[in-house]
Structure 1
Amino acid sequence: MSRNYKTSKKNRVNYIYYSANGQTVEVKPNQEGVTDTIIATLHKMDDLEVDANRREAYHAPVHFDSYQGKDEEDVAERNSYLIDPTSNPMESIIQSIEEEEHEKKLDKLRIAIETLKPQQKELIQKVFYEKRTNVDIAREEGVSETAIRNRLKRIYENLRKKI
């Protein structure tokens, strides 16, 4: 069913699907695996559809005549107003879920790094934030490169267990 308006921001807690036969299905977060991210993505897809319908209703008729070839051939593919910029809806949902999972993993990693000893945090700082090599760090600390590599290996194993 085509929509003519966007759902207001305050009413985007749930998602209501209107079927072609007039039935409504309410999708609620935290039920049957539905997350806030999925609800937001569904509303975003609706917004894109409303925008596309508005674009088609206004811009297409107004600008279509400007995009005729000399031989009256249709060159609509060059008309930016007629191009549907929306991507595959399933890809959008999958991408939003992957982004949410990635953020959760980063949060867990930040918390796990905070549990490291000060020397371990300093080594992580040198390797990942200062982009220094193991050889450079080993020279500074007066140890072998193998010692630095082994320290990093123990830190990684520790973090992996906590994540």
Structure 2
Amino acid sequence: MSRNYKTSKKNRVNYIYYSANGQTVEIKPNGEGITDTIIATLHEMDDLEVDANRRETYHVPIHLDAYHGKDEEDANDYNAYLIDPTPNPMESLIHSIEKAEHEEKLDKLRLSIETLKPQQKELIQKVFYEKRTNVDIAKEEGVTEAAIRNRLKKIYENLRKKI
């Protein structure tokens, strides 16, 4: 049985231990060859267990309540400590299919970008690779931000048709 507190020396009257099979053993100081040293050793072992329980309670970042959400549904989706690290064969298959489809779409996009006019390619380069804002690009080219938005809209429509 674990405790959350330590017993002071003056309250060390006896020790009751419970075995795995349910038997109880009572140890009293100065009785049947039990010395103060044996009692002190037993008490130290108990104190170490109390300290370990306190550390675990303090350091364990999840509690049993974290295993369920507010509506009592399993918390597996949002609790990283409950995630099963073993791969699910069906999920692996779906993931590989999704990855293949994603790669196929990226290849189509790359080919479609190659068909754009040089000015359009340059605008895509500035927006997506250089991470520049429409306002910054408009200022550089001497046009309004709306003009840049309209150019990008036409490019997106063109690419969408080709993909």
- TM-score per shorter chain, which class? 0.3 to 0.5
TM-score where L is the length of structure 2: 0.48
Q: Which is greater in Rg? A: 2
Higher relative contact order (CA 8 A, sep 6+): 1
Q: What's the TM-score once normalised by structure 1's chain length?
A: 0.48
Q: Specify which structure has the higher proportion of helix.
A: 1
